[in-house]
Copies of this chain bind each other. A is one copy, B any other.
Amino acid sequence: MTSRLTSEELAGEFANATADEVVNAAVAAKLAFPQYAQIVPEQKASFLDATAGELLSLGDELLERAHHESGLPIARLTGERGRTCGQLKMFAQLVRDGTWQDVRIDAADSTRTPPKPELRRLLVPIGPVAVFGASNFPLAFSVAGGDTASALAAGCPVIVKAHPAHPGTSELAAQAILAAAQKTGMPDGAFSMVHGGAEQGMALALRPEIYAVGFTGSKAAGRALFDVAAVRSRPIPVFAEMGSVNPVFLLQGALEERGETVAKGYAESLTLGVGQFCTNPGVVVGLRSAAFERFLDLVAGHLAEVSPGTMLTCQIEERYRESVEAWSRHHLLRPIAPHRGTSTPALFATSGASFLCDPDLAEEVFGPAAVAVECESEEEMLRVAEALEGQLTATIHMAEADGRAAEKLVPVLTRVAGRIVFNGFPTGVEVSPAMQHGGPYPASTDSRFTSVGTAAILRFARPVAFQNAPENLLPEALR
C-alpha cells in the first residue's frame, strides 16, 4: 500500500475560498462570458490544445502530487493524464469542426400565405458553468477534466470548485489552464478555481451568474446540488453523474462455455482501482446452477489473492469498511469471498427473491464489494432487471445458446441503463462520439446527456434561431 496525505495534512496548505472570493469568481465569469462566447473556433481550440500542453509540461510534479494526495499509482495517473490531455484535444478538434452546433436552416418561401420566413438555428453557449472536481479521477474528472473541457469548448466560462482530497493537484492543473489562457489571449475570468467544501460549492451553485453545474461524485452530494439549483429563483440544470451498481447479467450458455474467463475478468473489473469507479460492477446476476456456483467460487479465489489497496481518502476507506461489515452481518446475504478488513474486496450472495424484496441490496457500496444474485428462473432474472434503479451501465455475458434470453433482457436493460456492454466489463469508459456515460436517475440527474465523449458539450449549449437575419449579423457558423 502506498501512503497518502491525510485531510489534516492537506488542510493547512490551501485556504478555503471566502464568500467574497466565490462572488468575485462568479462575477469575473459573467463579465468574461460575452467576449469568451464570441471567440473564433480556432482560437478557442488553441486554448484547449495549449492546456493539454501545459499539463504535460508540469511533468512528474503533477503525477507525484496526485499520487501523494490520492494514493493512486503513478502508472494509473500517467494513463489518466493521457486521457485528460486526449479529452482536451478531442474538444479542440470538435470546436474546429463545428458540427456540434447542430446548424439547421429552413429556406424562406415568399409565395406561401403567409410567407414562410427564413430560419437559421444553431447551439450557443448557455453561460458560466460551475464544475465540481471528483475525488476518484484527480485529473480526468477534475479541474482540467471532461466537464471543464466540454464547457470551455461550448464557449462557457468555467469556475471549478476543487475537490478537497487533491487541492495541490487541482492548483497545478488550474495554473496550467491559466497559463494556456494567457498564452492564447483568453479574457480574464474565462477560467478560475476556488478551494473549499460543501459550503463553497453550494454558494457557487446559488450565484445568479452561474447557468449550469457539472458534477461527478456521490448521490448525496449530487442530489444536494440538484436541490439547491432547483429552488433558485432562476433554476439551472445540474449534470450530476452519481454512479451506480452496474449490474452484470451472466446468461447460462456463457457461464457454461467460459465461466473461468468471465470470472477472472469480473474479479479484475471489480477490484480495478480498488473498486473506485462509477462503473464498478457491484451486482452480478445469474441462474442458480452448478455453473454459477463454480463462477462464484472462481471469483472468490481471485479476490482472495487481491492485496488491500490505498483508497482515495480515509473517509472513503472508513465508509467502505463499515458498509462491507454491515453486509457481512446482513441476514439476507451469504459471504462468498469474506471481507479481510480495510480495503480488501468482498463478495456476497443472495437469492433473486431477497434482492427483489430489499432495495438496500441494490445500493452502491463505493469500493471492491459485490452482491451476486442467484435467480430461480429466467423470469426472475427479468424481474430483477426490471426492478433496478437507473444505471450508468448494464452488462450481458452470453453465448450462442443465450440468444432468446438476451432478446428479452436487452429491452429491459435499455430502459434501465445508459450503456449496455456485451461480453465485456463496464469499467473503462471510452472517450468518443458514441459514448454514453450517464443513465436514468439516480445514475445521473439528467439522463438525456453524457459526461464523457463529444456529446458532453451539449450539456452546456442551447439553441437560438435567427429569423430573416441579414447575413452579416448572423453568427459565423450560420452564414
Contact = CB atoms under 8 A, between A and B. Distances in A.
Interface of A: 33-34, 37-38, 104-106, 114, 116-117, 119-121, 124, 126-127, 226-227, 230-231, 234-235, 237, 390, 398, 403, 406-407, 410-412, 414-415, 417-424, 428, 430, 432-436, 438, 440-442, 445-450, 455, 458, 461-470, 472-473, 475
Given A447-B462, A463-B418, A403 B472 contact: yes
A106 B435 CA distance: 8
A472 to B, nearest CB: 7
A264 to B, nearest CB: 15
Contacts of A468: 421-424
A438 to B, nearest CB: 8
7 contacts: A117-B424, A119-B434, A226-B230, A234-B442, A424-B467, A436-B463, A438-B463
A475 B421 CA distance: 14
A467 B126 contact: no
A468 B428 CA distance: 13
B420 A465 contact: yes
Contact of A235 (B226, B436, B464): B226
A34 B235 contact: no
B106 A420 contact: no
A448 B461 contact: yes
A464 B424 contact: no
Given A235-B445, A424-B467, A432 B226 contact: no
A224 to B, nearest CB: 13
Q: Give the most central of A422, A445, A465: most B CB within 10 Å.
A: A465
B117 A466 contact: no
A414 B435 CA distance: 30
A458 B123 CA distance: 14
A450 B465 CA distance: 10
A432 B119 contact: yes
A277 to B, nearest CB: 14
Contact of A469 (B33, B422, B462): B422
Interface centre among A114, A440, A464, A469 (most CB of B within 10 A): A464
B38 A411 contact: yes
Given A104-B455, A119-B430, 10 more contacts: A119-B432, A121-B435, A126-B447, A226-B230, A235-B441, A398-B470, A420-B467, A421-B468, A436-B464, A449-B463
A38 to B, nearest CB: 6
Given A38-B411, A422-B467, A466-B420, A237 B446 contact: yes
A448 B434 contact: no
Contacts of A450: 463
